[in-house]
Amino acid sequence: MDTLKTLHGVIIEVCGYWIWLSGNTYPHKETISNLGFKYSGAKKSWYWSPTINISNYRRGSKSMKQIRKDYGSQIIQTEIQPAIH
């Protein structure tokens, strides 16, 4: 989680035991992928869960709005990066 907090422009959201990353993720896609996150094209967000690599894992088709409603949502504060002028 500490590495994620340093990614400028990335929004970290915890829904249940899933971690979702949105915002300006493109510049950080290699780092995010190396941390084990998968990309959801439908949600335009990266996600990680301890169940990703379990053989009976099933993908769902819930919207982010429905996921937030069902499991709750908490935004994790990221570290402020100094602006370069």
For residue 40, the cross-strand partners are: 45
Total domains present in the chain: 1
Picking from 81, 77, 79, the residue whose alpha carbon sits closest to that of residue 14 is: 77
Asked whether residue 82 is domain-assigned, the answer is: no
Asked whether residue 13 is domain-assigned, the answer is: yes
Global pTM value: 0.78
Tens of pLDDT, residue by residue over 36-81, are: 999 999 999 999 998 776 655 566 778 888 888 988 888 888 776 6
Confidence of residue 83 (pLDDT cuts 50, 70, 90): low
Range of the domain at 37: 2-76
Tens of pLDDT, residue by residue over 7-32, are: 999 999 999 989 999 999 999 999 99
What is the radius of gyration, based on Cα positions, of the chain? 13
